[in-house]
Amino acid sequence: MTTVCLTFDFDAVSLWISSLKQTTANPMSRGEFAPRVGLPRVLALLLEKGVKATFFVPAHTAVSFNAETRRILDDGHEIGIHGYCHETPVGLSKTDEASLLDKAIAKLRNALGQDFTPVGYRSPAWDLSENSIALLEERGIVYDSSLMADDYKPYWASRGFQVSEEAYQAGPASKVVEIPVAWELDDFPHFMFLNKPLYLGMRTPAEVYELWREEFDFSATIEGSVFTLTMHPEIIGRGPRMAMLSRLIDHMKSTSGTTFSTVADAARHWRVRSH
Ligand SMILES: [Zn+2]
């Protein structure tokens, strides 16, 4: 019995502004591909397959591409927090990180409606500060999906840690469920091409299909596993890659004991079973 969580980070232009510091016409156009081409294709595929998914959306995207972001909710998918403008929480003071998190949630609410209540978080950097989990816990956030201490099994995220060359000591377990991610299961390293810094990507969809199918088949042998794919509408949204994803979803559906769910539902179910 395995649960598949298809997740899409709807970074759009925020990735280029904040993480890559490139704001000229070409990078902006690469970001615009997400709302203009990638997202409509992704939403159409999810509708066709009858699958609910999770989208992590920077507040910057929700404001800049508001109608497109609302469509995600209208189609019944989940939206989780993904930073104010795709910034890393690492290196921020606790106060600054808390205020940026609150600003991101407030801006998402202004863009999507005051009844919008996010229950999940994915760090735009796939990295956390020593305070991140405690800040999420204080705000009642159910899950984080940024860390890699397991491959297919959720676990309780720990509240910080102590690290030195003498020893490593994880902090106490929090009430935040960690839904682990993996570079192997992210479309970015496989496909994304960057010239500054040089980042090759550009694998064929067939190669990535094989890698993802093998990972999925292994996860399906583990009782209670959660198989989480991380994708980006501007990357997976190119035609042949969408065809590959469609094929993969069909393969998953033909594997007995597989269900699809949002990350929020997968985290809630795991939390209930683990108490
Ligand atoms: Zn992102």
The torsion defined by the Cα of 193, 197, 198 and 199, in degrees rounded to 10, comes to: -40
Q: What distance in Å separates the CA atoms of residue 110 and residue 59, rounded to the nearest whole number?
A: 10
pLDDT of 1 > 90? The answer is no
Segments in 75-178 forming alpha helices (H): 94-112, 132-138
Q: Would you say residue 275 has pLDDT above 80?
A: no
Question: How far from 72 is each of 43, 76, 191, 219, 265, CA to CA, in Å?
Answer: 7, 7, 24, 28, 17
Query: Looking at the DSSP assignment, which residues form a beta bridge with residue 194?
Result: 199
Tell me how far CA of residue 270 lies from CA of 9, 97, 133, 156, 258, in angstroms. Answer: 23, 28, 18, 10, 15
Which residues pair with residue 78 across a beta bridge? 54
- pLDDT for res 201: 92
Task: Report the DSSP pairing between strands 161-163 and 168-170.
Answer: antiparallel
The rounded Å distance from CA 107 to ligand 1 centre is 17
Q: What angle, rounded to 10 degrees, do the helices at 66-74 and 94-112 form?
A: 80
Question: pLDDT tens digit string along 54-107?
Answer: 999 999 999 999 999 999 999 999 999 999 999 999 999 999 999 999 999 999
d(CA 101, CA 136): 9
How far, in Å, from the CA of 95 to the mean position of ligand 1? 23
**Environment of ion ligand 1 (residues, CB < 5 A):** 9, 11, 124
Region 2-274: CATH code = 3.20.20.370
Residue 34's nearest CA partner among 3, 68, 7 is 68
**CA of 97 relative to ligand 1 center, distance in Å:** 17
Note the pLDDT of residue 17. Answer: 96
Q: Could you tell me the CA-to-CA distances from 186 to 95, 137, 211, 258 in Å, in that order?
A: 31, 26, 11, 20
pLDDT for the residue 195: 86
Q: Is the dihedral of CA 199, 230, 13, 40 positive or negative?
A: positive
Cis upstream peptide for 197 (omega within 30°): yes
Q: How far is the CA of 256 from the centre of ligand 1 (A)?
A: 32
For residue 82, report the distance from its CA to the centre of ligand 1, in Å: 7
CA of 261 to the centre of ligand 1 (A): 20
